[in-house]
Structure 1
């Protein structure tokens, strides 16, 4: 009983409403600062376009001015012409000058900036997720054959694998950019808001790509492991290994991917268990764990500070080897994509309250694109859902 009481007291001491307030305000401030940065970058891009265009306009302007000067010189210096020829010559030059002057007057720079329209649904405060919104998707991208279901999102874009390319799509499911992917099968991907980079992992390598996937490079300072899943906090990159008795590695994002910590069984899971997925959210790390012997499947939420289990939720046992993953929601709630049972779970109240719905296609992964759109990677397609909380 003493241990139980001490555990409750410890959990109560960890609760800090002022810190929760600060964290929420920091998220709002980050959104504001990031929006300002993006506006400034867009302004600089358009300013460079304007300067290039002005250079072209100036060149055209100077050419026509020289043409008029030539016509005027010809008028002043005309000689050895009959009266009739002189009259016709002057008339033609006057017409040419007038036409060129009219063309000069038409030279202008058209700029039609549209006001920025902010969708208030982009920032949702204190509103609840509704699983029923997943009944109908707003957009869909069919997967090419042999494509990985790994996805990563930030506020604007989603990165996915469409064999044989890595593709960047926007919120309207429009292709923004693609580049060839010729390396190993992609196991998982994650977005780092701190570094503004995508991490891409294969079984033996870790890659990073900038937000526009203009540059993709291999990170060669990671220890040799067989990787399976990844996730980012504001300070660290977490990687789990592909093995029964999985380990989890924590690498610093700010110190050239220095190894900060390594957790092994039985802290991570039992020797007979494997970690299907890891996801970071609000100081916690969620682990999707499957037992190879008992075929039990669990969502386990751990404190990132102590790595103690805060709570867990058990799914139906299954021998099916299909992937099961999770996606964090607000208020310490979670979505679980159960590929074995073709179901999505909405888990609240530390695993005590559960809502679920069946899916026609195997759901593999889910991630939020901003705060009002959820993307779900299924066996056949990537589906976009407008989530109005």
Structure 2
């Protein structure tokens, strides 16, 4: 009875659990590894119009594509969710700002345009002085605009106070008088710049402090001679790394946060732009196609 159990207790035989180590496999974590050399075939692709300028932008849910004469919004399955006519001039570049919950678009006619993520509201920002601009990017607090001329300037505007002007960086702090900023991208307090030199085939990717523009490191990108000059693009990847879209020959360069080229791989047909969509999708645009890859 219960009293007997309380007096004498319960005798339990316990045997050790023996694990055969040959039957146990623990997969090594690769959570901090990204290698574009292992990109397989895209898991989604669509045809898109042949466009000399191929801007892309994304947030965690949507990807915005310039598909002249429309702006098109896609999800992560590359399903077209919505499109709206684009009535402004040709788009030079665009980026996403989570601070104001809008895409920011710059045009070849010096306009800066805001469009919400549902493509329902489009408005031109009149308070920003018109300049010939080629590239744009956002931090949490600022919009950075790079001008489309040799000795490029970088303008900084406050996203938290209706695009109030903060600062203008000029040559030689941005680049030399005979150099052009092709592309700028922001991530985690850092600005990545793609720089080309007039009458020189070599390009550079440089990392700068976004607060001081102090150079942290620089990596040369060797190219072959070509007639005309195609835009080289840069986008941020996971783990504070960077992807460079290079030409002549067409290839992708994966650059680590400390300035080492981790991977070079050819890409055909030639890539024109790329963006990290969410945390695990790399969207790459060519002249006629948009491809999604798992990363």
1:238 aligns with 2:144: yes
Distance 2:128 2:237 in 1: 30
- Residue in 1 that maps onto 2:184: 278
1:4-32 C-alpha deviation (Å, 9 max, x unpaired): xxxxxxxxxxxxxxxxxxxxxxxxxxxxx
SS at match of 2:243: strand
**What SS does the corresponding residue of 1:128 show, helix, strand or coil?**
coil
Q: CA deviation at 1:127?
A: 2.5
Q: Which residue of 2 aligns with 1:337?
A: 245
Counterpart in the other structure of 1:312: 218
User: Cα distance 1:151–1:349, how it changes in 2: closer, same or farther (>3 A)?
Assistant: closer
SS at match of 1:144: coil
Deviation of 1:349 (Å) = 5.3
Structure 2 residue 265 is matched with structure 1 residue 357: yes
**Deviation at residue 125 of structure 1 after TM alignment:** 9.1
Aligned equivalents of 2:196, 2:163: Cα separation in 1: 29
Per-residue deviation, 1:249: 0.3
What is the CA distance between 1:348 and its match in structure 2? 1.6
Ranked by relative contact order (alpha carbons within 8 Å, sequence separation 6 or more), the top structure is 2
Shift of 1:331: 2.8
Tell me which of 187, 194, 201 is aligned to 1:288: 194
1:283–1:305: 8 Å Cα contact kept in structure 2?
yes
| Pair 1:252-2:138 in alignment | no
Distance 2:187 2:244 in 1: 14
1:119-171 deviation line (CA, Å, top 9, x unaligned): xxxxx994211213433101112112347410100011100111110000110
Residue aligning to 1:378: 286
Where in structure 2 are the equivalents of 1:1-80 lying within 5 Å? none
User: 1:195: Cα distance to partner?
Assistant: 0.8
Larger Rg: 1 or 2? Answer: 1
Separation in structure 1 between the aligned mates of residue 125 and residue 39 of structure 2, nearest angstrom: 37
Q: Using the alignment, how far apart are the partners of 1:227 and 1:340 within structure 2? A: 24
TM-score when scaled to structure 1? 0.65
Tell me which residue corresponds to 2:73: 168
Q: Partner residue of 1:103?
A: none
Contact 2:273–2:284 (CA<8 Å) still a contact in 1? yes
8 Å CA contact 2:246–2:252 kept in 1: the answer is yes
Cα RMSD for the two superposed structures = 1.6
Structure 1 pair 157–224 and aligned structure 2 pair: CA distance change class (3 A): same
CA contact (8 A) 1:245 1:270 kept: yes
Aligned-residue offset at 1:189:
0.6
SS at match of 1:271: coil
Change (3 A) 1:183 1:147: farther
Q: Any idea what the Cα deviations from partners look like across 1:182-210, whole Å, max 9, x if unmatched? A: 22110001000111100011021000001
Aligned partners of 2:175, 2:217: CA distance in 1, in Å?
14
Of 369, 376, 385, the residue aligned with 2:277 is: 369
Cα distance, 1:327 vs structure 2: 1.2
Residue matched to 1:192: 97
Q: Decide which structure has greater helix share.
A: 1
Q: Is the strand fraction higher in 1 or 2?
A: 2
Which residue is equivalent to 1:225?
Answer: 131
